[in-house]
């Protein structure tokens, strides 16, 4: 009787897997493009579904899974090193490490600022901005006006963005940092509902449009500003109330600096993963580079990770930036599955839940993959979206209590992301319900 019961379970499980396969391979939606899908039961070390898992796909923001694992492995989950400095006589010479937290409008970290305020020495900012390109390889030139392509830099301040915000009950929006108020001009328009903000391509000149008689709902809009070491020195002078002098050259960068601990890494990981924050992802890889060798090179950080942390993946990651904005990134589903396993082995699952978007509840999938009424989320996964790519990879909790690992990469679809996600919702819920 026991053998018959086990046999029945095997047959039932086999039928479930066959239906999952069919829902993917016979779908009128998924057949319109290039699909890669892999589903694994890590406890049984068993591949349940494998569709093109050895093929390379453009992963979009699934790249952040690699950034997260690398950052967590090198930086840990406490405080990041936010400032390098040397004390020489009556002078404090300091430079950036890539820490995005300094006066960031959401992270709101002021540790480095208070450190500089309290110093009784003359303040000198050492220019190491040339170590980091503002934009990543393969990024589109016309993204400069949008938050998702905020400039990378050695010493970010205010998150390298200008935040325009209108709160409930107010009739005028605020601007942060305030210094950009004098660089903002209004433009009349007859065909725009609400506010629209734009920045000049090459300079920090901003404009906005508003229909004269339009009643505007509260909003919050972040527009990147053009970064420079000169701006950083000016900002720090204004915020500390002390003269910060910019210096260039010298051999200071070759010396071993003292490192100031500043922003909680946990807060950076959570915002980077949940809302798919490209700026934070890029800056995390800058921080990794600084931690490894006191220089700022995202390509060096990636190379280190591939050689020392990811050498056991089935297929070599073709990886060029921290965020996934570049279409030059390419990964295979089976490598992402292997990475998910490494994350599970090294990061407590409660932390994964805190960092990853949760289906129907938080982050980029708060409106997708909902659980049954009254039930906790069953999907904890990272999204990815570019014009040619849609992705979702992470962890799926079944009704029977299993935690499965899955990766779904979809490229070259001539249909909307909404259609793809609607179809994927059916597949993932079936797995959750039946497996």
Give the architecture-level CATH label for domain 17-71+285-434: 3-Layer(aba) Sandwich (3.40)
- The mean of the pLDDT values for the chain is 94
**Which of 8-12, 121-125, 292-296 is predicted with the least confidence, judged by mean pLDDT?**
8-12
- The pLDDT assigned to 367 comes to 97
pLDDT higher for 270 or 217?
270
Q: What is the pLDDT of residue 249?
A: 81
Give the pLDDT score at 3. Answer: 58
* Helical pair 278-293 and 298-308, crossing angle rounded to 10 deg: 70
Mean pLDDT calculated for residue range 304-309:
98
pLDDT tens per residue, range 219-229: 999 999 999 99
Check residue 188 and give its pLDDT: 66
Hunting for tokens 């040619």 — which residue is that?
388
pLDDT tens for each residue of 28-87: 999 999 999 999 999 999 999 999 999 999 999 999 999 999 999 999 999 999 999 999
Residue 186: per-residue pLDDT: 84
Task: Name the band, by pLDDT with cuts 50, 70 and 90, for residue 194.
Answer: confident
Q: Is there a contact between 339 and 66 (Cβ–Cβ < 8 Å)?
A: yes
pLDDT at 384: 98
Sorted by where each begins, the domain ranges of the chain are 17-71+285-434, 157-226
Contact of 116 with 91, CB cutoff 8 Å = no
**Is residue 191 over pLDDT 70?**
no
> For 369-389, what is the mean pLDDT?
96
Residue 432 pLDDT > 50, yes or no?
yes
Query: Would you place residue 97 in the very low, low, confident or very high pLDDT band (cuts 50, 70, 90)?
Result: very high
Please compute the mean of the pLDDT values over residues 248-256 and round it to a whole number: 90
Residue-level pLDDT at 85:
98
Task: Give the rounded percent of residues in the chain with a pLDDT score beyond 90.
Answer: 87
Cis peptide leading into residue 177 (ω within 30°): yes
How confident is residue 13, by pLDDT bands cut at 50, 70 and 90? low
pLDDT at 12: 47
């Amino acid at each position: 009787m026991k053998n018959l019961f086990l046999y029945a379970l095997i047959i039932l499980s086999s039928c479930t897997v066959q239906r999952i396969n069919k829902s993917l391979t016979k779908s009128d939606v998924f057949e319109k493009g290039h699909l890669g899908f892999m589903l694994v039961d890590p406890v049984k070390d068993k591949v349940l579904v494998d569709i093109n898992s050895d093929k390379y796909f453009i992963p979009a923001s699934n790249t952040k899974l690699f950034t997260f694992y690398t950052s967590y492995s090198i930086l840990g989950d406490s405080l990041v090193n936010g400032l390098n400095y040397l004390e020489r006589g009556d002078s404090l010479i300091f430079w950036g490490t890539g820490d995005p937290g300094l006066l960031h409008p959401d992270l709101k970290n002021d540790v480095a600022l208070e450190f500089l305020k309290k110093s009784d020495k003359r303040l000198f900012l050492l220019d190491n901005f040339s170590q980091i390109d503002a934009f990543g390889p393969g990024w589109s030139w016309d993204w400069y006006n949008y938050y998702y392509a905020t400039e990378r830099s050695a010493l970010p301040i205010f998150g390298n963005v200008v935040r325009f915000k209108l709160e409930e009950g107010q009739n005028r929006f605020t601007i942060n940092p305030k210094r950009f108020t004098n660089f903002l001009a209004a433009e009349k328009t007859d065909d725009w509902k609400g506010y629209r903000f734009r920045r000049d391509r090459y300079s920090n000149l901003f404009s906005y449009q508003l229909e004269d008689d339009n009643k505007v709902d509260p909003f919050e809009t972040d527009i990147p500003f053009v970064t420079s070491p000169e701006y950083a020195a000016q900002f720090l002078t204004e915020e500390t109330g002390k003269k910060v002098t910019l210096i260039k050259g010298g051999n200071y960068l070759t010396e071993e600096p003292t490192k100031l601990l500043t922003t909680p890494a946990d807060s950076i990981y959570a915002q980077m993963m949940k809302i798919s924050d490209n700026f934070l992802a890029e800056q995390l890889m800058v921080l990794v580079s600084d931690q490894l060798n006191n220089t700022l090179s995202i390509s060096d950080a990636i190379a280190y990770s591939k050689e020392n942390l990811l050498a056991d993946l089935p297929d070599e990651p073709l990886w060029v930036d921290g965020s996934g904005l570049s279409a030059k990134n390419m990964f295979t589903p089976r490598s992402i599955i292997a990475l998910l396993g490494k994350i599970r082995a090294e990061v407590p699952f409660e932390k994964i839940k805190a960092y990853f978007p949760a289906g129907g509840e938080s982050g980029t999938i708060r409106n997708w993959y909902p659980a049954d009424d009254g039930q906790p989320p069953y999907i904890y996964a990272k999204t990815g979206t570019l014009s040619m790519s849609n992705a979702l990879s992470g962890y799926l909790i079944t009704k029977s209590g299993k935690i499965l690992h899955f990766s779904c990469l979809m490229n070259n679809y001539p249909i909307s992301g909404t259609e793809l996600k609607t179809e994927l919702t059916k597949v993932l819920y079936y797995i959750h319900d039946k497996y």
